[in-house]
């Protein structure tokens, strides 16, 4: 990569960001298209988020991705938010033009695209979402759009209830999501037929707590499909736990590539090669 005075900058706002595959993926896509763009990690502590957002435009950045824990927190500080991201209540992509920051969400469509690649039919299917943060909001939105029945479980019941209430209001034509705590998990799983279980928490992520979000003592049904948004490491503690129970599993690498390709096009106006992006992050 030859960085010079004409290089266009994009970055990743999060805390932490050292585990992320996004720089390798976006830089490979830019190089394949012959674009003089550079994608850099930007570790930003929560208390520094407002000043960091102001700095992006001041430094001439063309855009940024947003990851944990900032996806919800950035909304009040953007100049505009695309309607889908507003409904979801979370932003993962910022486009900067004329000094204005506009928020988008490509997580939900990237997630749906990956489930389609796995051949999962969602209409009328029971889905259990673990976590209620910004990533969970995009996942629940996608599942509701696809016609699934959704239960959202979080350690803090008020967070799950707020997510469910927001998306009931934003998608009044969809089946209302159910909010519960992890203590209710056994009852929710009882009678669920071929459920899809999605982890949206950072548990199991490289550099974070090496643990599974699935509580001890609650059996994983062997007919479940378990999807972990964590992609580094490639097999998470939850995936290993699910595989031992006979479940089919997938990590979030496909979602990462699909959401990244959409974000890349928003920034550059060019469609990247998804195969190039995926190859850049295969370990």
Whether 8-105+255-281 and 108-251 share one fold: the answer is: yes
* Contact by Cβ (8 Å): 232, 44: no
d(CA 40, CA 268): 16
pTM: 0.94
pLDDT for residue 161? 96
Distance of CA 30 to the CA centre of its chain: 22
Enumerate residue ranges in the chain where pLDDT < 70: 207-209, 283
Q: Which pair of structure tokens corresponds to residue 218?
A: 């609650």
d(CA 191, CA 268): 47
Spans of all domains in the chain: 8-105+255-281, 108-251
pLDDT for residue 169? 93
Residues designated catalytic: 71
Task: Give me the CATH topology for the region 108-251.
Answer: Rossmann fold (3.40.50)
As its CATH architecture, domain 8-105+255-281 has 3-Layer(aba) Sandwich (3.40)
pLDDT for residue 283? 59
pLDDT for residue 79? 98
């Amino acid at each position: 990569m030859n960085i010079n005075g004409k290089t266009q900058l994009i970055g990743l706002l999060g805390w932490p960001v050292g585990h992320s595959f996004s720089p390798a993926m976006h830089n490979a896509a830019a190089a394949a298209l012959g674009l003089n763009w550079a994608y850099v990690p930007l570790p930003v502590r929560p208390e520094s988020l407002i000043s960091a957002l102001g700095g992006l435009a001041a430094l001439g950045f063309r855009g940024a991705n947003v990851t944990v824990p900032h996806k919800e927190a950035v909304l009040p500080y953007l100049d505009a938010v695309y309607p889908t991201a507003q409904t979801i209540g979370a932003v993962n992509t910022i486009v900067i033009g004329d000094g204005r920051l506009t928020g988008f969400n490509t997580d939900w469509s990237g997630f749906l695209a990956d489930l389609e690649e796995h051949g999962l039919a969602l209409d009328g299917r029971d889905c259990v979402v673990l976590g209620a943060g910004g990533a969970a909001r995009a996942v629940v939105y996608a599942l509701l759009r696809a016609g699934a029945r959704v239960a959202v479980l979080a350690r803090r019941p008020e967070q799950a209830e707020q997510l469910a209430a927001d998306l009931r209001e934003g998608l009044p034509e969809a089946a209302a999501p159910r909010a519960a705590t992890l203590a209710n998990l056994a009852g929710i799983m009882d009678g669920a037929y071929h459920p899809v279980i999605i982890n949206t928490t950072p548990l199991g992520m490289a550099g974070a707590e090496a643990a599974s979000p699935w509580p001890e003592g609650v059996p994983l049904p062997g007919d479940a499909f378990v999807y972990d948004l964590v992609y580094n490491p490639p097999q998470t503690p939850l995936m290993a736990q699910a595989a031992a129970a006979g479940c089919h599993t997938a990590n979030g690498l496909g979602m990462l590539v699909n959401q990244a390709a959409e974000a890349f096009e928003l920034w550059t106006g060019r469609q990247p090669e998804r195969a190039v992006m995926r190859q850049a992050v295969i370990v």
